[in-house]
Amino acid sequence: MHRVAPGSQAEQVGRLLIAAVLVVFAPLLPFGNYLIYPFMILGTWFHEMGHGLTAIIFGYDFERLIIYSTGSGVAESSMPADASRFSRAMIAAGGPLGPSFIGSALILASAKTRLWRPALITLSLIITISTVIWVRSSTGWIVLPAIAVGLALLAWKASAGWVRFTLQFLGMLAALSMFMSWDYLFMEQANIGGQLILSDTGAIEANLLLPHWFWALALIAAATLMIGTSLRYALREDGSGIGWR
């Protein structure tokens, strides 16, 4: 029987496929929704931080981030009434694209041995800092610090193989989160926290014209490009020969 060499491209592809399968199919397993719940909250954090950090990039204030127990969330930013339509549209786009950007970065980090543990520690610190500064909901206060502690412990204690797989799993989780909620992208309005508000693509439509479904397709194309580029780079690396021990 042919054996896959440790650290080979075939092993890397296999690990990424395992990560993708876990992300997509875990909710279908018995108690799968409970197992995936912390990662669903993390996916919401990726999305809402994308909105908030984009607002900061455009010079506006990121006020607070609320994550509901259902897994939905909202990022609230303050901006002047005369804020440009372009900046409003980009802030709306930052939510869907944020997870893909973070996922691509984690997948790229998984290709370099020296980045594995620092990447997990950095993500743990960002989650912790964002929770203190912006998160304003009990679900976020409970789940996000627990995730941050778990990532820090993994970076400190886990074997190199498990650290790498964690990076790849989180990268795939972030990268696929947009596609797992693709129906939201094609909604003009959505019910968030009991309120009917414009969806992200609906907000882009309101500011840049063209129908929301056009912007949904444009966001999917951009995310696919980011994820595909990061995967091609990661899979070109020869690997380090480090196993799961």
- How many domains are there within the chain? 1
Q: According to the model, what pLDDT value does residue 244 have? A: 43
d(CA 230, CA 93): 20
185 in a structural domain: yes
Is 2 part of any domain?
A: no
Which range of residues forms the domain containing residue 76?
9-236
pLDDT at 161: 83
Is 47 a member of any domain? yes
CA distance 106 to 26: 21
Per-residue pLDDT of the chain (245 residues; tens, 9 = 90+): 444 444 555 566 666 677 667 666 666 666 666 777 888 899 899 999 999 999 999 999 999 999 999 888 999 999 888 899 999 999 999 999 998 999 999 989 988 889 999 999 999 999 999 999 999 999 999 999 999 999 999 999 999 888 988 888 888 888 877 777 777 888 888 777 677 788 899 999 999 989 999 999 999 999 999 988 988 887 776 444 444 44
User: Does residue 60 form part of some domain?
Assistant: yes
pLDDT for 32: 61
When computed from its CA atoms, the radius of gyration of the chain, rounded to whole angstroms, is 18
Alpha helices in 65-137 (DSSP H): 85-109, 116-133
244 located within any domain: no
Strand partners for 197: 190
In 3D space, the residue among 116, 125, 190 whose CA is nearest the CA of residue 158 turns out to be 116
**Rounded to 5 degrees, what angle do the CA atoms 36, 41, 44 make?**
125
- Global pTM? 0.85
Instruction: Return the pLDDT at 23.
Output: 64
In a domain, 198, yes or no: yes
| In a domain? residue 83 | yes
Question: What is the reported pLDDT for 245?
Answer: 47
